[in-house]
Amino acid sequence: MAYTREDYMEAVQAIQAHTSLKPTVALVLGSGLGGLADTFEERVVIPYDAIPNWPKSTVSGHQGQLVIGKIEGQTVVAQQGRAHLYEGYTPQQITFPVRVMHFLGAETIVLTNAAGGLNKSFAVGDVMVINDHIYFTGMAGFNALSGPNDESIGPRFIGMANTYDRQLRQLAVQVAAENSIQIQQGVYACLSGPTFETPAEVRMLRALGADAVGMSTVHEVVVARHAGMRVLAISGITNISVDDIDAYADSDYKAVHEEVLEVGKLIVPRLITVLRGVLRAL
């Protein structure tokens, strides 16, 4: 499925019919973090159903609405919930919202997600600023920029050496330090899911240099860079990836998704503190 500029504009117009606010920052609020958008001032809520072509998330913990409003002095547009590859969407469908938010006026995008910790020095509850990624699904042919390229949106080929904006990363680290929040920086590996990693896959990912693993974000990041947006992406480490096949052989291993949602609650206030601090300083 390849979208055209008209498809994006149709969605932009449907959104602009609800509000005259012009957002300059886009937020993609992952697992459990949607609540931040409930605190926006002058907020306008638009259900995804009301926006043409918009992919709907079917996962618990993801609400399905777009919220436009003001927070920390910025006018923002926030996705409360996102769609994933494992729900049956294509990378192009997942990233439709990024282009729409860009056409609404957003020049900066801040994305959050829940991720498994691979780096042995990470602890559950840590916050990790993504400083690079490994786009496994992209390498396997599911790259969000595959397909016809509209040169009026961005170039066919894009360099990825400077994907995660250095200034924004430094800002996030500084805000975390000021608030005594433990913050890590590292490489995020994007897999398709919905299966969590096997112990062998965990060891492989670690050997390849990944610090955290998840099922989202990178699709949106490449499309944002294609459009020239500044990118900040932050993971909440909700679980430490299991690398030993015998670790849970004799006990009930709680479903990881339950752990993700539970620990997510603990991380949310930390992520919100970092996001608010970054927005205030922009």
Catalytic residue list contains 18: no
From CA 11, how far away is CA 281, in angstroms rounded?
A: 30
Chain residue at closest Cβ approach to ligand HPA: 116
8 Å CB contact between 281 and 169: no
**From the candidates 11, 26, 114, 229, which is the catalytic residue?**
114
The SS3 assignment for 31 reads coil
- The answer to whether 115 contacts ligand HPA (rule: CB under 6 A) is yes
CB 136 within 8 A of CB 201: no
- Rounded CA separation 208/139 (Å): 14
x/- mask, ligand HPA, residues 173-212, rule CB under 6 A, reads -----------------------xx---------------
Say whether residue 238 binds ligand HPA (CB under 6 A).
Answer: yes
Phi, psi of 88 (to 5 degrees): 105, 5
3, 37, 48, 62: the active-site residue: 62
Among 11, 33, 101, 114, interactor with ligand HPA by CB under 6 A: 114
Catalytic residue among 10, 143, 204, 257: 257
> What is the smallest separation between the CB atom of 255 and ligand HPA, expressed in angstroms?
11
Residue 238: which region, alpha, beta or left (left: phi > 0; alpha: psi -120 to 50)? alpha
Annotated active-site residue in 37, 87, 102, 233 = 87
Per DSSP, 54 falls in state P
| Minimum CB distance to ligand HPA smaller for 31 or for 75 | 31
CB 29 within 8 Å of CB 6: no
Instruction: For residue 102, indicate whether it is catalytic.
Output: no
Q: Could you say which of 78, 128, 181, 260 contacts ligand HPA (CB under 6 A)? A: 260
- 144 in Cβ contact with 91 (< 8 Å): yes
Q: For tokens 């932050």, what's the residue?
A: 234
Q: Is 241 a catalytic residue?
A: no
Contact residues: ligand HPA, CB under 6 A: 114-116, 196-197, 213-215, 238-239, 241, 256, 260
User: Which residues carry out catalysis?
Assistant: 31, 62, 84, 86-87, 114, 215-216, 239, 257
